[in-house]
Amino acid sequence: MRKMLLAALSRVLQGPAAAAAGRTGAVSEASRVMVASRNYADFANEATFEIKKCDLHRLEEGPSTTAVMTREEGLHYYKTMQTIRRMELKSDQLYKQKIIRGFCHLYDGQEACCVGLEVAIKPTDHVITAYRAHGFTYARGVPVREILAELTGRKGGCVKGKGGSMHMYTKNFYGGNGIVGAQVPLGAGIALACKYFGKNEVCLTLYGDGAANQGQIFETYNMAALWKLPCIFICENNRYGMGTSVERAAASTDYYKRGDFIPGLRVDGMDVLCVREAAKFAAEYCRAGKGPILMELQTYRYHGHSMSDPGISYRTREEIQEVRSKSDPITLLKDRMVNNNLASIEELKEIDVAVRKEIEEAAQFATTDPEPPLEELGNHIYFNEPPFEVRGPNQWIRYKSVS
Amino acid sequence: MAAAGLALRGALASGAAVAVRRRGGLWSCLSPLPAAPRRSAAHFAFQPDPAPSAYGQTQKMNLFQSITSALDNALAKDPTAVIFGEDVAFGGVFRCTVGLRDKYGKDRVFNTPLCEQGIVGFGIGVAVAGATAIAEIQFADYIFPAFDQIVNEAAKYRYRSGDLFNCGNLTIRAPWGCVGHGALYHSQSPEAFFAHCPGIKIVIPRSPLQAKGLLLSCIEDKNPCIFFEPKILYRAAVEQVPVEPYNIPLSQAEVLQTGSDVTLVAWGTQVHVIKEVAAMAQEKLGVSCEVIDLRTILPWDTETVCKVLLNGSTAFCCVGHSSQFRIISKLAEGTLCPLIQVTDEYVE
């Protein structure tokens, strides 16, 4: 509607000479200025927000308590979070239709974590996380259609249909790991490689509140601190390890202090700006060579642990509703942007519509793309070996393994 | 013998490809057949055993209910028995411990945090101190962090302390085996990894009736035991199971069907597939199959199995997951029996 108005206005202002240009879509200088001044008149370019102070462990100073967000940044965060939200809801739908099978752990409610982290680091930094990985996969640059196709096990998926929900990878994103806590020592290893290659990169190593009680995590804390690895340990505390609440699983629920000799921050994980500022602070800390740092993001998941968990046997519907109404990350961002004149409700609605369309198309692709061919079943077991045969369920069914 | 072999080839062509590894030179007349049509889902039909009369009143139970019944009996009989593991308090992810916390109290049935190595190590400690420890690992796929504790601590405790101490009161239970949608980490059958470790016992039941008796035997056995429960049978397997406690001896294989031509050995879910195969072979080939459920993988019943082989069985089929094959291949070493292996469908 506004676009039509602007186009009409620009034609009127330019006069008949530029009318032809206007019709073909080219906008003259005059009208461009007109459009820009309408933008500036309508919206602020940026705004400053107060964010929650982080609790600190072994740190003198923490991240700043104010954050500046520009209009473009706000729209980008909004679009990314909304895409992840709709993608997860679409996955829920596809799972219930049995188009996605196996295991599916959904990330809705926690979008602020992956978006806040991604915008605070560089694309050349590294990320590794556990099985609730769809949000990170998207944030790290995999298009929605490849994520959904991977969930449905088609060859258009980011891992060619062989990985599934828990095993999605892309450049500088090491998955997607099924075994709880197993990815944390890997993350420290990646951090060591970063330090070794000297490219000033960091590694974000994520795990959950359930995994925080695994022994290998403490082994990793020790190694990372001893060798001053540029590793940012991030505990996404969504209050429940599958069905067990944190109070019933952990002697200390101050997950940001669990690193003991590693400094820590506790961050409001439902506020994308809070996560962003904390992650920037942590990345700077690591890049300065001071060693590892630990961040606890306090967040919440709306779905159950996985699609086979209704999510209401260990928590009340009221609790979920309360978090949804008071701390939803997308609503929080939307309110901030609208109240500070960074965007209008209509504009954000347009983004919603565009996102829905993108997800629909991606789901269409994911449902119609063919499965990987059976000949590829045995591939990628080894590297660079001459092709050999892998035995199938009996010794007369052979799959050729090409590496 | 050759006739039986040819007959075997003919019948199995309908359902599976057949070829024989040449070990005795007896089968050189056979050649491989075209590959089997691919089924996209695992298939088997659970075959219940008749209700036993020796143990008193029976009740219809599925596998997880028979496990609950066994645990109930164990906690009632032994005041030092405790059950712990991830999520066991509310009943467990497979409902094996439903109602036990309410009945016996929260100091006897309690949750542990997410730490398999910790769970088993802790369990060894409980057992060494004299209480009966029944630890649950949520899926057999997650047993690997505890592998060191099982193999290096639990298995060797009695030996290294010269019998001063032991952790015989420890039983570890874990859901086991493929279920169709489990993929990499909810489908594994890791018994072969433990099968070469003296000092522990490994038991895998095929049905609710077997499970309760074997689990009670494991709990009472004075050696650390690992009890794998086929998860695909938790709901699918329904039988009449005695309500009172009863024991099925460990290290005793059960001959389910006698035969003279081929011996088929399996455990867990595969036993039901094998029984179907035996029936098919009899019907379509006239081949008489001996079906043995091994039940205890370690220490396995060498006597029963070898007696059958030595009685002139011509071929020896090992059925099960590929890791199970390695256990049985040891059996065939030294015998002149050719070895055929068929396993269950690919994990999906």
Which ipTM score applies to this complex? 0.71
Lowest mean per-residue pLDDT among A115-119, A277-281, B4-8, B252-256 = B4-8
- Judged by CB atoms closer than 8 Å, whether chains meet at A393 and B348 is answered as no
pLDDT band at B180 (very low <50, low <70, confident <90, very high): confident
Axis-axis angle for helices A16-24, A29-42 (nearest 10)? 70
Q: What is the pLDDT of residue A20?
A: 47
Task: Tell me the three state secondary structure of residue A298.
Answer: strand
Residue B43 contacts A where some CB pair is shorter than 8 Å? no
Spatial contact of A57 and A265, defined as CB atoms under 8 Å apart: yes
Q: What is the pLDDT of residue A282?
A: 97
Mean pLDDT of B166-182: 93
Structure confidence by residue, pLDDT tens digits, A221-237: 999 999 999 999 999 99
Tokens of B33: 């057949």
Mean pLDDT of B59-83: 97
Mean pLDDT of B272-283: 92
Q: What is the pLDDT of residue A1?
A: 57
Helix, strand, coil shares of chain B, percent, nearest 5, are: 35, 20, 45
| B246: nearest Cα among B214, B288, B223 | B214
Between A62 and B314, the more confident residue is: A62
Which residue bears the tokens 């102070």? A53
Tokens of B105: 């109290």
**Whole-prediction pTM:** 0.79
CA–CA gap between residue A70 and residue A33 (Å, rounded) = 20
CA–CA gap between residue A78 and residue A355 (Å, rounded) = 11
Question: A301 φ, ψ to 5°?
Answer: -110, 135
Lowest mean per-residue pLDDT among A210-219, B38-47, B239-248 = B38-47
Beta strands in B91-148 (DSSP E): 109-111, 133-136
CA–CA gap between residue B119 and residue B88 (Å, rounded) = 12
List helix spans (H) across A44-153.
71-96, 111-120, 134-139, 144-151
Q: What is the pLDDT of residue B313?
A: 61
Tokens of A257: 């202090």
Computed over every residue of chain B, the mean pLDDT equals 83
Q: Pick from B114, B346, B348: which is nearest to A392 by CB?
A: B346
Spatial contact of A330 and A114, defined as CB atoms under 8 Å apart: no
Q: What is the pLDDT of residue B27?
A: 37
Alpha-carbon distances, residue A165 vs A88, A159, A335, B41 (angstroms) = 11, 10, 32, 20
CA–CA gap between residue A362 and residue A349 (Å, rounded) = 20
CA–CA gap between residue A368 and residue A352 (Å, rounded) = 24
Tokens of B217: 């035997």
Q: Pick from B114, B183, B343: which is nearest to A393 by CB?
A: B343
Say yes or no to pLDDT of A8 above 80.
Answer: no
- Judged by CB atoms closer than 8 Å, whether chains meet at B18 and A396 is answered as yes
- Exposed/middle/buried for residue A212 (C-beta within 10 Å: 0-12, 13-18, 19+): buried
Residue A162 contacts B where some CB pair is shorter than 8 Å? no
Query: What DSSP letter does each residue of A77-107 carry, written as one string?
Result: HHHHHHHHHHHHHHHHHHHHTTSS-S-----
Structure confidence by residue, pLDDT tens digits, B187-229: 999 999 999 999 999 999 999 999 999 999 999 999 999 999 9
Beta strands in A303-344 (DSSP E): none
Structure confidence by residue, pLDDT tens digits, B84-125: 999 999 999 999 999 999 999 999 999 999 999 999 999 999
Between A321 and A396, the more confident residue is: A321
Consecutive H or E run containing B254: strand B254-257
Residue B348 contacts A where some CB pair is shorter than 8 Å? yes
Tallying the residues shown for chain B, one arrives at 348
Mean pLDDT of A120-145: 96
| B183: nearest Cα among A278, A163, A63, A346 | A163
Q: Active-site residue among B86, B116, B220, B229?
A: B116
Residues in chain B with CB shorter than 8 Å from the CB of A249 are: 111, 113-114
Strand partners, A244: A241
Spatial contact of A46 and A70, defined as CB atoms under 8 Å apart: yes
Structure confidence by residue, pLDDT tens digits, A240-266: 999 899 999 999 999 999 999 999 999
Structure confidence by residue, pLDDT tens digits, B17-55: 232 333 333 333 344 444 444 445 557 789 999 999 999
CA torsion A164-A167-A168-A169 (nearest 10°) is: -150
Mean pLDDT of B264-269: 93
- Judged by CB atoms closer than 8 Å, whether chains meet at B343 and A394 is answered as yes
Q: Which residue of A has its CA nearest to B13?
A: A396
- Judged by CB atoms closer than 8 Å, whether chains meet at B36 and A164 is answered as no
Based on the residue annotation, tell me whether B186 is a catalytic residue of this protein: yes
Structure confidence by residue, pLDDT tens digits, B294-327: 999 999 998 888 887 777 665 555 555 544 555 5
Q: Work out the percent of chain A whose per-residue pLDDT is above 90.
A: 77
CA distance B36 to chain A (A): 8
Mean pLDDT of A340-349: 94
Say yes or no to pLDDT of A81 above 70.
Answer: yes
Spatial contact of A366 and A154, defined as CB atoms under 8 Å apart: yes
Q: What is the pLDDT of residue A399?
A: 83
Strand partners, A126: A203
- Judged by CB atoms closer than 8 Å, whether chains meet at B345 and A249 is answered as no
Q: Which residue of B has its CA nearest to A153?
A: B348
Lowest mean per-residue pLDDT among A170-179, A318-327, A344-353, B3-12 = B3-12
Q: Pick from B87, B115, B345: which is nearest to A393 by CB?
A: B345
Say yes or no to pLDDT of A37 above 80.
Answer: no
- Judged by CB atoms closer than 8 Å, whether chains meet at B19 and A213 is answered as no
Beta strands in A194-247 (DSSP E): 203-208, 231-237, 240-241, 244-245
Question: B121 φ, ψ to 5°?
Answer: -60, -45
Beta strand pairing call for B254-257 and B238-242: unpaired
Say yes or no to pLDDT of A291 above 60.
Answer: yes
CA–CA gap between residue A138 and residue A147 (Å, rounded) = 8
